[in-house]
Chain A
Amino acid sequence: NAGVTQTPKFRILKIGQSMTLQCTQDMNHNYMYWYRQDPGMGLKLIYYSVGAGITDKGEVPNGYNVSRSTTEDFPLRLELAAPSQTSVYFCASKSIGQLYGYTFGSGTRLTVV
């Protein structure tokens, strides 16, 4: 099915480890986003991209990095995992001019111990 695919679905990291959360969309959407949702909280924007080669910081970018080398892929990198990064991460995409909002992936649940 077309849409936004996130891998892995679950991951446990030790403090100080690094990992990359993968996000791929096959809808040729220009805009892509990374959000995190902490328990009982709303969605916080980490990074976003308006097209290949262009990325920008959101509300909570510290501790993360992104790249957008292709239209399809928007990986999120954690370099030195900290317990504060325990969260559920959602990737989303949107087409230019799309009125009805985002298409979200199913999320990656990350625990840092």
Chain B
Amino acid sequence: DQQVKQNSPSLSVQEGRISILNCDYTNSMFDYFLWYKKYPAEGPTFLISISSIKDKNEDGRFTVFLNKSAKHLSLHIVPSQPGDSAVYFCAASDDMRFGAGTRLTVKP
């Protein structure tokens, strides 16, 4: 059973606007959550993480929010740029499985 789920397979936003990618999990004991970014023909690369003891982590244009009571995390990209167009995966550090991914398209 999938413990980390991304229910939106795709998202399209206009350049300069906010992109919000969502992820739900089932195991409240997870320690760390991570987001990866994947371009076509490349392996995924680490983007940003958040500890379960925090509710927000920011790195430049990327912010991850964690809502433990809802078992939900989200990745915010502000402002979105065409170069952000990629597939984004969420994962839990304690688990070797990834969400199904969300394909983000940022239109110029």
| A positions within 8 Å CB-CB of B | 4, 33, 35, 40-43, 45, 48, 58-59, 90, 92, 99-102, 104-107
Chain A CB within 8 A of B43 CB: yes
What's the least CB distance linking B18 to chain A, in Å? Answer: 24
> B44's contact among A45, A59, A90, by CB below 8 Å, is which?
A90
What's the least CB distance linking A110 to chain B, in Å? Answer: 14
Whether B97 pairs with A90 at a CB distance below 8 angstroms is: no
Instruction: Name which of B44, B49, B91, B93 has the most chain A CB atoms within 10 A of its CB.
Output: B44
Instruction: Name which of B43, B45, B96, B100 has the most chain A CB atoms within 10 A of its CB.
Output: B43
Chain B neighbourhood of A43, CB < 8 A: 44, 89, 97-98, 101
Sampled A-B contacts (7; CB under 8 Å): A42-B101, A43-B89, A45-B96, A101-B91, A102-B36, A102-B44, A105-B43
| B positions within 8 Å CB-CB of A | 6, 9, 32, 34, 36, 41-46, 49, 89, 91, 93, 96-101
> A42's contact among B34, B43, B45, B99, by CB below 8 Å, is which?
B99
Chain A neighbourhood of B41, CB < 8 A: 106-107
Whether B96 pairs with A33 at a CB distance below 8 angstroms is: yes
* A99-B49, A101-B36 known; A58 vs B43 contact (CB < 8 Å): no
Whether B34 pairs with A106 at a CB distance below 8 angstroms is: no
How far is B48's CA from A99's CA once the two chains are assembled, in angstroms?
A: 11
Whether A4 pairs with B43 at a CB distance below 8 angstroms is: yes
Whether B46 pairs with A106 at a CB distance below 8 angstroms is: no
How far is B9's CA from A2's CA once the two chains are assembled, in angstroms?
A: 33
How far is B46's CA from A62's CA once the two chains are assembled, in angstroms?
A: 28
Whether A106 pairs with B42 at a CB distance below 8 angstroms is: yes
> B32's contact among A40, A42, A99, by CB below 8 Å, is which?
A99
Chain A neighbourhood of B36, CB < 8 A: 101-102
> B46's contact among A58, A59, A100, by CB below 8 Å, is which?
A100
Chain A neighbourhood of B6, CB < 8 A: 42
What's the least CB distance linking A23 to chain B, in Å? Answer: 11
